[in-house]
Amino acid sequence: MITTIEDMPPGTIGLRASGTLTDRDYTGVAIPLLREAIHRGEKIRLLVEVASDFDGLEAGAIKEELHADVGLGLGHLGSWDRMAVVSDKEWLANAIALFGWMVPGSIKRFSLSGLDEAKAWLSA
């Protein structure tokens, strides 16, 4: 499930991933928020909190994530400013270390206890 994080600094978007993500999480929550910000001409400053109970993606969610990566990422490279990934999952830290250079803009990982620090970095 993807839900919005309501207490975000101005000019930032916060999303929390928990449980199992479905295609509806992308098409109903994440993609519309990002698309609206891009159409308003805003730079994307995105916080993604991966909760401790996150356990993966359904097949349809993988397709939507790839669609979002191409349509919103590669299609709008200049729109991305910063992404903060907040998680204690070691595999995610390793993935960011290996593939973070492929993300448009800056990406930084924070532990779950560093949520406030991530918000501050994102809005700086």
Domains of the chain: 2-123 (3.30.750)
Burial class of 25 by CB neighbour count within 10 A (0 to 12, 13 to 18, 19+): buried
- pTM assigned to the model: 0.85
31-40 pLDDT per residue, tens:
788 888 888 9
How high does pLDDT run on average in the chain? 85
